[in-house]
Amino acid sequence: MSEQAAVPVPGDFKSDVKPVWCPGCGDFGVLNAMAKAMARLALRPEQVAVVSGIGCSSRIPAYTSCYGFHGVHGRALPTGTGLKLARPDLTVIVTGGDGDGYSIGGNHFLHACRRNVDLTYIVMDNRVYGMTKGQPSPTTETHWTSKLAPHGTGLNEFHPMAIALAAGANFIARGFTGDPNGLADILVQAITTPGFSFVEVLSPCVTFRPEQKDWKKTVRAGNLASTADPVLAAREIFADDGMNLGVLYAGERPPYQPPVGAAQRPPADLEAQFAL
Ligand SMILES: Cc1ncc(C[n+]2csc(CCOP(=O)(O)OP(=O)(O)O)c2C)c(N)n1
Ligand code: SF4
């Protein structure tokens, strides 16, 4: 960002690295919405860390000018949690795909919701493993068939919002990459709401799920009514077909704070305890 620029603009939050995503991939919309949200919040790139796992969607840290960590498949949330506890001054945004977050990283998802550390988790859900060429993911529809799953999975779909609510996430919303302004509004709320904020983003994989291009016709903007009552939120979730957008739940649970002094201990002190 230029030193003279008083007001940040979205371009300040993008790096010079050209995304290698397929043309039309929904993940471009998430990058744009994140940049808009950070500019709107008047953050500076060095105040933000973007942490990811592995997948097409997890490439996003490299495309931002913020601090970034492109880590291990399914392990973005524990990395982001540790970073936030060690550096509470940073805004930590954890990003990834439905495979990364709900398959190999599923257990971390549960416990990140339960811990309620103050970070924002954005899942670019395309209901498929894009990077590894189209295997079904936990959110893939039961009857979706492909060369790799010719008879469909025959499995019930994972329900991220219901699980996030049950496990204790303090903010739960759904956005769509075809509406980057609406998504940016949601991200502003997610980042500014204390505690663990979970944002499910419908992000089409135009290569392995080309039919998802039709999501622009089926989503319903602003249809989720925001509530702080988990019982009402649960009712709304189970009446939802996955295409309603907006904030579902904004709770009042205080974020996890480490015991006084715990996060400040220098690494040398900790290392000394493990010396043989
Ligand atoms: C430990 C480990 N297991 C498996 C893989 C292979 N792998 C890489 S990305 C990926 C799934 C990506 O799917 P998703 O998270 O939905 O992201 P997308 O590519 O669709 O954005 C898998 C299984 C890996 N890199 N590491
Ligand atoms: S394979 Fe799918 S998820 Fe990956 S970049 Fe291409 S469109 Fe996006």
The answer to whether 95 and 122 are in contact (CB under 8 A) is yes
Q: Is residue 274 very low, low, confident or very high in pLDDT (cuts 50, 70, 90)?
A: confident
Distance, CA of 136 to CA of 142 (rounded, Å): 9
Q: How many Cβ atoms from other residues are within 10 Å of residue 120's Cβ? A: 25
Residue among 63, 73, 157 to mutate when testing ligand 1 (max atoms within 8 A of CB): 73
Tell me: pLDDT of 269 over 60.
yes
Task: Name the residue among 186, 239, 177 with its Cα closest to residue 213.
Answer: 177
Per-residue pLDDT reduced to its tens digit, 101-159: 999 999 999 999 999 999 999 999 999 999 999 999 999 999 999 999 999 999 999 99
Q: Record the pTM.
A: 0.95
CATH code that applies to domain 10-273: 3.40.50.970
Residue among 18, 20, 25, 202 to mutate when testing ligand 2 (max atoms within 8 A of CB): 25
Question: Is the C-beta atom of 25 inside 6 A of ligand 1?
Answer: no
Tell me: pLDDT of 64 over 70.
yes
Task: Give the mean pLDDT of the chain.
Answer: 95
CA of 177 to the centre of ligand 2 (A): 13
Q: Is residue 258 very low, low, confident or very high in pLDDT (cuts 50, 70, 90)?
A: confident
Residue scoring higher pLDDT (263 or 184): 184
Distance, CA of 109 to CA of 97 (rounded, Å): 12
Tell me: pLDDT of 97 over 70.
yes
Tell me: pLDDT of 272 over 90.
no
CA of 228 to the centre of ligand 2 (A): 35
* Residue 111: both structure tokens together: 């416990």
Tell me: pLDDT of 264 over 80.
no
Indicate the domain borders of the chain: 10-273
CA of 77 to the centre of ligand 1 (A): 15
Question: Is the C-beta atom of 135 inside 6 A of ligand 1?
Answer: no
* Residue 89: both structure tokens together: 């001054």
Distance, CA of 121 to CA of 50 (rounded, Å): 10
Tell me: pLDDT of 94 over 60.
yes
Question: Is the C-beta atom of 97 inside 6 A of ligand 1?
Answer: yes
Question: Is the C-beta atom of 100 inside 6 A of ligand 1?
Answer: yes
Q: Is residue 3 very low, low, confident or very high in pLDDT (cuts 50, 70, 90)?
A: low
Tell me: pLDDT of 73 over 90.
yes
pLDDT for 5 equals 57
Distance, CA of 117 to CA of 12 (rounded, Å): 27
